[in-house]
Amino acid sequence: MAKLNGFNANEVDPMDTFDPIPAGKYMAVITESEMKPTKSGNGSYLEFVFQVIEGEFKGRLLWSRLNLDNPNELTVKIAQGELSAICRAVGVMQPKDSVELHNIPLQVTVKCKKRKDTGEIVNEVKGYAKKEAATGQPKQAGNNTPPWSRK
């Protein structure tokens, strides 16, 4: 049991359910980062928390995990490439600590994917870029040329 010290639900708005945000490109900042051990215990990953800072989904959180310490060399190489993309997007090329990457706007590309274990649709951060291109609104991938101007 836990003491709730007179908590009154009548005085607090209930939490909204958080469905995944639409796939697209969003302005965000890194608000938290932490090295955590992998479930298997044979490595660790750097977890970033991103917060959308513009548009309809302002305030929403997204997570990304970079397996920087892993027995699989390819996994580490992919994580290092992702970290390089984040560093380039925020303009910090040689951070000594992940906190140096916090609170600097960047564009994140968000995808929606189905979890294998539960079938639930979740967001996944799949790309990082400098802030110039993001709008805070989802943008569909593909050909953005209007149909009337295509040849």
Write the pLDDT tens digit of every residue in 11-64. Answer: 988 877 778 999 999 999 999 999 999 999 999 999 999 999 999 999 999 999
**Is pLDDT at 83 greater than 70 in this prediction?**
yes
pLDDT value at residue 16: 72
pLDDT tens across 88-134, in order? 999 999 999 999 999 999 999 999 999 999 999 999 999 999 987 54
pLDDT value at residue 132: 76
pTM of the predicted model as reported, rounded to 2 decimal places:
0.78
Distances (CA, A) of 83 to 56, 77, 97, 127: 27, 10, 12, 10
Would you state the structure tokens that stand for residue 46, as one six-digit string? 């750097």
* Neighbouring-strand partners of residue 50: 30, 62
What is the distance between the alpha carbons of residues 110 and 20, in angstroms, rounded to a whole number? Answer: 10
Contact 22, 121 (CB under 8 A): no
**Domains defined for the chain, CATH in brackets:** 19-134 (2.40.50)
Contact 99, 84 (CB under 8 A): no
Which has the higher per-residue pLDDT, 151 or 58? 58
What is the distance between the alpha carbons of residues 142 and 135, in angstroms, rounded to a whole number? Answer: 17
pLDDT value at residue 129: 96
What one-letter code names the amino acid at 133? A
Label residue 142 by pLDDT band (50, 70, 90).
very low
Q: How far does Cα 138 stand from its chain's mean position? A: 14
pLDDT value at residue 151: 39
